[in-house]
Amino acid sequence: MVKILSGLAAAIVIAVGGFFGFQFYTQHRITSEIDAALEQIRTAGGKASHGKVSFDLMSRTVVIADLTAQSAAQPPVSIKIGNLTALGVGQPDAARFSADSIEISDVELSAAMGPQPAMSFAYKVPRITVKDYSGPASLQQPPASATFADVYRFVLGQFASVTAASVNAPGLNATINSGVAAPGGGEVAYTGFAMQGIKDGKIATTKIDGVTFTVSIQPAAGKPDKLTGKLADMAGYDIDTTAVAAIFDPQKANDDKYYRAYRQITAGSYVVTSGQGAPGQSLNMRIDGMTIDDVGLRPSRMQLPDLLAMIPPPGAPPTPAQARALLEKVAKVYEGIRIGNAEMRGLSVETPESPLKLSAMRFNLEGGKVSEFAIEGVDGRTPQGPVKVGRFAIKSLDVTNLMRMSAQFSNPAQPPAPDQVLGMIPLIEGVELKGPLCFPPNDGGDRQQGPPGMGR
């Protein structure tokens, strides 16, 4: 009996020792993998560190505290994570890591666009929850240059390698700094952020319950003012982030194909107000809803790193030559966007001078051309009287060439010649105007009113 009890006790001691020994080994291995991932950032010239790492074998839970990383780019991209807890972790194979859920708290992310002084962004997210996650067991090699575009493309590439059933963040706050002393920054708050169905860089649905923002502005003449806005029920469907990554990839500079980035984007009511500036400059605008269908991107016309490199620093107005070059780049961007249909419904603007209402506005865009731009139900008022238009539509508008011709007029010292202005008329093909129509008088007489219907 004594031998049996002694043998049982020895077995228990060995089992307990093996249990804790395996747990210690696993925790050490996890720590080594994290160190190796952060070392890649340090090797590229950045900074990275982490706090305590713990692992519970029974619940397969990993906890990592105080993760920080900063790129070598100037201005740098930095991220801080207060605590990361992965529950139900596993390793299906040597190259993949999985978790039943991941809880991330106290996230701070900051980045800037262009050389200093530059517009910068700072995000704070109190909590993020990820369900049914699967991703690479090790971090890919970060880009050597670590510019804003390279880091953005790297992050999108990492995102394309993960899958998750859902990602939820109850709240997210952002601070925007314009990079200049004059007012121009602001704050944005998101509530109810949720993504569903993440796989191969695609997202089935993304929804945001509400967005509120406050932006400081400095009018050309007048006191500094603030714009405040609220946007409700924003959603995106069938999102492909690989299409977005392509416009940051120099190897796609000759790719002339359109890649669909969104099947549909919708939004509910959108309200913008101001009125803290000079008297008579208040604004109250409301849009009942918006829908955008079939958004595609064309990498050969939308290499954003080139465009970002041409933007002058804040506070330094571009020279006429720079303005012409920038307008040429913007013209190419229009050639790189496809929008199957965009619709805005229920626009109303209240100003001290005149109220304006618009039932709907619709347009589409491909290859730098709008095949139809229409506004319906215009109802406004000028100091001379009311203005009403049933429907106004441009059947075709060459936006790209309009931008390119506008570049010729970017020098204030050289006003356009009459033939140059007339040369813009062929860019518009077909105008439609339908009643009811009502316009204010030109000479103080009775207002002008068109027939119930008027063709083009």
The one-letter code for the residue type at 23 is Q
pLDDT tens track for 131-142: 999 988 776 666
Rounded Cα gap, residues 306 and 319, in angstroms = 18
Q: Is the pLDDT of residue 204 over 90?
A: yes
Is-contact 271 285, C-beta < 8 A? yes
At residue 118, the pLDDT reads 60
Rounded Cα gap, residues 49 and 34, in angstroms = 9
Domain boundaries, the chain: 2-233, 342-456
Least confident of 171-185, 325-339, 396-410: 171-185
Report residue 412's pLDDT band, with 50, 70 and 90 as the boundaries: low
* Strand partners of residue 229: 213, 272
Rounded Cα gap, residues 109 and 129, in angstroms = 17
Instruction: Give the mean pLDDT of 268-295.
Output: 82
Which residue, chain included where needed, has tokens 């575009």? 149
Report residue 11's pLDDT band, with 50, 70 and 90 as the boundaries: very low
For the chain, the residue count is 456
Instruction: Give the mean pLDDT of 334-338.
Output: 90
Rounded Cα gap, residues 1 and 8, in angstroms = 10
Q: Is the pLDDT of residue 310 over 70?
A: no
At residue 413, the pLDDT reads 65
Q: Does a cis peptide bond (omega within 30 degrees of 0) precede residue 441?
A: no
At residue 5, the pLDDT reads 33
At residue 164, the pLDDT reads 93
Is-contact 54 63, C-beta < 8 A? yes
Collapsing DSSP states into helix, strand and coil, what is residue 297?
strand
Instruction: Give the mean pLDDT of 298-325.
Output: 73
The one-letter code for the residue type at 156 is L
The one-letter code for the residue type at 96 is R
Task: Return the exposure string of 352-378: e unless at least 16 CB atoms fall within 10 Å of the residue's CB, then b.
Answer: eeeebbbbbbbbbbbbbbbeebebbbb
Rounded Cα gap, residues 145 and 159, in angstroms = 20
Q: In angstroms, what CA-CA distances link 256 with 253, 300, 405? A: 8, 5, 24
At residue 141, the pLDDT reads 66
Q: In angstroms, what CA-CA distances link 299 with 148, 332, 333, 442? A: 18, 10, 9, 49
How buried is 263 (Cβ within 10 angstroms: 0-12 exposed, 13-18 middle, 19+ buried)?
middle
Report residue 426's pLDDT band, with 50, 70 and 90 as the boundaries: confident
Rounded Cα gap, residues 323 and 302, in angstroms = 18
* Residue ranges with strand state E in 71-224: 78-87, 96-113, 119-136, 164-177, 186-199, 202-217
Closest CA to 393 of 370, 412, 424: 370
Half-sphere exposure of 265 (CA within 13 A, CB side): 17
Instruction: Give the mean pLDDT of 353-359.
Output: 83
Rounded Cα gap, residues 182 and 218, in angstroms = 7
Which residue, chain included where needed, has tokens 């002393």? 181
39 or 27, higher pLDDT:
39
